[in-house]
């Protein structure tokens, strides 16, 4: 087998591990999920999972690394723009697209983050996520604005999160929820 075929198979396995881990983390919590359970759900040995990821935390970090990269790109773009309503809307639109992009697992990652924040807040990945959400929030904020206005702008991010994962409560299809969430977020900023 060629090196390219081996690399592709390894990447597929890593993606499968990440998908199953995220599924289990969301179902039963990060702390209550073991590498053994991830292996069992995949139908492989624990050693096969261990070959790709030595710890659950390493899997968690890999899940968030893509999301972090996307958020960093948005923060970089927003920081290079003049402050104002158009930049705030651009930040929200880009973040909404990041959460709901084709084949995106980010909506599930953010849902897990929301639901499992107590179990990961003490981990390095929790601190990194908090810092990135703070950076996004700062792009929407205006230190001269009233407390109510600052809160409104920060709630815009939460509207996007709800649109991405509150499927049972909101109804509609994914595109309708995303558009509705983006509409509400724009109104808040």
Domains 1-54 and 62-188 share a fold: no
What per-residue confidence (pLDDT) applies to 27? Answer: 83
Class of the domain covering 1-54: mainly alpha
What per-residue confidence (pLDDT) applies to 11? Answer: 60
What per-residue confidence (pLDDT) applies to 99? Answer: 83
What per-residue confidence (pLDDT) applies to 92? Answer: 96
What per-residue confidence (pLDDT) applies to 101? Answer: 65
What per-residue confidence (pLDDT) applies to 162? Answer: 82
Distance set, CA 25 to CA 20, 111, 155, 177 (Å): 8, 10, 26, 24
Query: What fold does the segment set 62-188 form as a domain?
Result: Tetracycline Repressor; domain 2 (1.10.357)
Count of C-beta atoms within a 10 Å radius of residue 126: 18
* In the chain, where the domains are located: 1-54, 62-188
What per-residue confidence (pLDDT) applies to 141? Answer: 86
| pLDDT under 50: residue ranges of the chain | 1, 4-8
What per-residue confidence (pLDDT) applies to 125? Answer: 85
What per-residue confidence (pLDDT) applies to 163? Answer: 81
Percentage, residues of the chain above pLDDT 70: 85
Residue with tokens 């509409």: 183
The number of CA neighbours under 13 Å toward the Cβ of 77 is 16
List CB contacts of 31: < 8 A, sequence separation 6 or more. 119
pTM comes to 0.80
What per-residue confidence (pLDDT) applies to 23? Answer: 87
């Amino acid at each position: 087998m060629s090196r390219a075929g081996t690399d592709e198979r390894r990447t597929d396995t890593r993606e499968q591990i990440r998908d199953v881990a995220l599924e289990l983390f969301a179902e039963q919590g990060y702390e209550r999920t073991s590498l053994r359970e991830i292996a069992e759900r995949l139908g492989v040995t624990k050693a096969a999972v261990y070959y790709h990821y030595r710890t659950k935390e390493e899997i968690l970090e890999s899940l968030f690394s893509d999301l972090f990269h996307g958020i960093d790109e948005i923060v970089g773009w927003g920081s290079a723009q003049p402050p104002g309503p158009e930049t705030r809307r651009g930040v929200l639109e880009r973040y909404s697209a990041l959460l709901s992009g084709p084949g995106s697992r980010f909506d599930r990652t953010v849902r897990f983050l929301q639901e499992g924040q107590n179990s990961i807040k003490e981990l390095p990945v929790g601190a990194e996520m908090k810092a990135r959400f703070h950076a996004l929030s700062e792009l929407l904020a205006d230190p001269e604005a009233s407390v109510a206005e600052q809160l409104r702008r920060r709630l815009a991010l939460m509207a996007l999160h709800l649109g991405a994962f509150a499927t049972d409560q909101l109804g509609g299809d994914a595109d309708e929820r995303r558009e509705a969430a983006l509409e509400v977020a724009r109104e808040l900023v």
